[in-house]
Structure 1
Amino acid sequence: MDRDVLLQVSEEDFPQVLNILEKFLPDSIVPFEWISLHQRWRETTPSLKLRIFSPAKSSWKEGILICLSDGLADGDKMYGVMYAPLDKTAALRALVLQTKLIYWERVIHIACLLDRHLPILTEVLKANGFKCTGDYHIPCMLLYMPILKAVECPLPRVPDKVRVGSVDLSHFQTVFDYWSMRDDLEFKPIVKKMITENPSVGIFVTKGDGCSEELASMVLQAEYGAVGLLQTLPSFERRGYASVALAHQTRNLAHAGVTPYAAVLLQNEASIRLFRLAGYEELGVSTWVVFKKLYSDD
């Protein structure tokens, strides 16, 4: 039997993989933080299989990686990220077109794919029988803040009768309802894990009775390691709560050793402006590739 062009990286080599990716930062921030987060999740979740594939000939040393999380999503589904340094783009294309190790039909999405890699994955999808309609990829602006800057991110004044806290599982349905990928029901267990194991911020406003509170704004660390699910409930919009939540979460991540970054929908100019005002820098366009089991009629 012929050897595949990819091989699965041994878990004992994960630290070396991160060392290689660190050399390409901030370009490689997505796979770097994705792997770091899933290594942490792996410690508390024996069912999680962290599958990292690299070229069989050169292993992980070139920084070419396809990373998949297997065992968390419902329905036997996986999700992940894909990366290659700029000068290895052609090599990545050849590898993903030839490999038989990736079961694309099991993938929910590939997160924050750099714009230069979208044509490659589109070609792979078509070669594997997927119908690439106009809504299969979602362009986002990738932004980040250097960790030393993020540690000292200015915190806006918190208004009276407002408390900065954390989101917990009692807020799960609210979080999921406002999540942009909520149609992927297989992803519910991962959203729960974001809440229970990742840093989060909830902005709570005291109700008229002076005793109870309600959630007004929230932000989590998403499964790909980024600032994610930054939302303000409609009845609390335009009060500056999102800015407060973002600043606190930026500091939370930095103090946890994470370089804060985010993927904001390209059409959401207000949110992009919010991140810029907070001190985030643009890295360029990235894309969420959403896999739908839509095969061609052939």
Structure 2
Amino acid sequence: MAALTTLVADTPLDEVIAVIERDGGVVIKDFFDSSTLAELRAEIDRAMPSTPWGQDDFSGHRTKRLYGIFQHIRHAATTVRHPLYAGIASHFLEIPQSGYFGEDRLELAPTYQVGVTSIIDIHPGEGAQPLHRDDGVWQWRHPEGYRQARVQIMVAVTDFTADNGGTMVVPGSHLWDDDRGPKVEEAVPTEMTAGSALIWLGGTFHGGGTNSSDSNRIGLTIGLDLGFLRQEENAYLTYPIEVVKELDEDIQRILGWSVCPPGTGFVDHQGVMADPNFLLQGEGAEVTNSFAQFDEAAPGARP
């Protein structure tokens, strides 16, 4: 089976999306420039020494995984802010849906949020991970025309090769229904230079490859998910509140301290179904009513 298509980072967004819609994933060459990559590698080298080995066949026994990376890796924020990755996530996830609110038919688009993060360091001797779909964490179903739940990225911190465990991907498998399972021979290894990135959909079968080389393979991975789904990695317990308060507001929101329309994730504040971000901003912060949008769309109506 042919490998995934490789495009350069300045490829127009619509062309990248067309490849992903066809194949379920794409490789972006030089997603990060050399200076950003060097800074990222230095951050990882500082954060990883105390990370333990995996303890199961899925996580790997010769693999180290560091979670909650926004508190360790400054360039995690750089990744989710990258216009290409953000544009792809918006296209596949922020799809408007219409429904009635009283007698008015309204159209609302969900936001997306960070669902899982990890630095994955696969060492020599590690075997292949079982092929899987990331959206399996929600027991997502795949009838024809289904919507995607996740857009995942794997930034290559070292070169990815067929020998060192480059992520195995089954091109086109995002189009399969739930009666078809993957075969190992249908998967192709992701081969890309350090600084490049693999971006794929939650419905695409994939898995870490076997590392039969003499060096480790390091990648940074983040999943961006529909904002109304439960996060795979529980950000509210992973990140101490003191850490979250120090993050920029856009990162706070993408980690889940926000509301997904029409009101998923609100907190009560003096009777208001409020966007929770004000809790991080200190005394005097503006409180936003999550349902005020309906007053504007349908005057006089109440949920």
TM-score bracket relative to the smaller structure: under 0.3
Structure with the largest fraction of helix: 1
Structure with the largest fraction of strand: 1
Question: How high is the TM-score relative to the length of structure 2?
Answer: 0.27
